Amino acid sequence: MTVLLAAAFALMSPDVRDGARVPEAFVWNRDGCHGANRTPRIRWTAPPPHTVRLRLTAIDYDAPNRGGWVHWRVVDIPAGARALGAILPRGARNERNDWGTIGWGGPCPPPGPAHHYTFALAALDARGRVLATARMVPVYGR
């Protein structure tokens, strides 16, 4: 009997790394923060079978807001896409973040302990059910 193991659905970035500090280039550029607020490039491996679209969120759950602070939300990412950044795959769209802007809004927590920024890419089926989620969690503090 041969058992085939499915490859893990994984999220990665050349710009922000799981467990590592977010570089200043991707930090918010107002409200006491002085980053460049560049949109990080995100890549991922193939999603599971029956995925029809993907959804990316980047949320600071350490923020005092109920549900955390949304830094980025991209919806309707085609299942065949394997990367995004400032340029989105055809059909995908940025939604409003908690800074009140559309697209990426970098970290700028209050002074104190570092906050954790959960990037989560959800693979969705035709009914919008989550089939799998890939995550990475960089940190930033000031």
Q: Would 121 be classed as within a structural domain?
A: yes
Over residues 66-91, mean pLDDT = 97
Residue 5 confidence (pLDDT) above 50: no
Residue 2 confidence (pLDDT) above 60: no
Q: Find the domain containing 15 and state its range.
A: 11-140
How far is residue 25's CA from residue 19's CA, in Å, rounded to a whole number? 17
pLDDT in tens, 108-130: 999 999 999 999 999 999 999 99
Q: Judge contact between 142 and 109, C-beta under 8 A.
A: yes
How far is residue 51's CA from residue 133's CA, in Å, rounded to a whole number? 11
- Cβ-in-10-Å burial (0-12, 13-18, 19+) of 32 comes to exposed
Q: Would 126 be classed as within a structural domain?
A: yes
Q: Would 43 be classed as within a structural domain?
A: yes
Q: Would 6 be classed as within a structural domain?
A: no
Q: Which of 42, 47, 44, 43 is nearest to 6 (CA)?
A: 47
Our count of domains for the chain comes to 1
The percentage of the chain sitting over the pLDDT mark of 90, rounded to a whole number, equals 94
pLDDT grade for 8, boundaries at 50, 70 and 90: confident
pLDDT in tens, 19-40: 999 999 999 999 999 999 999 9
Q: Would 54 be classed as within a structural domain?
A: yes
71: domain CATH number?
3.90.280.10
How much is the mean pLDDT over the chain? 94
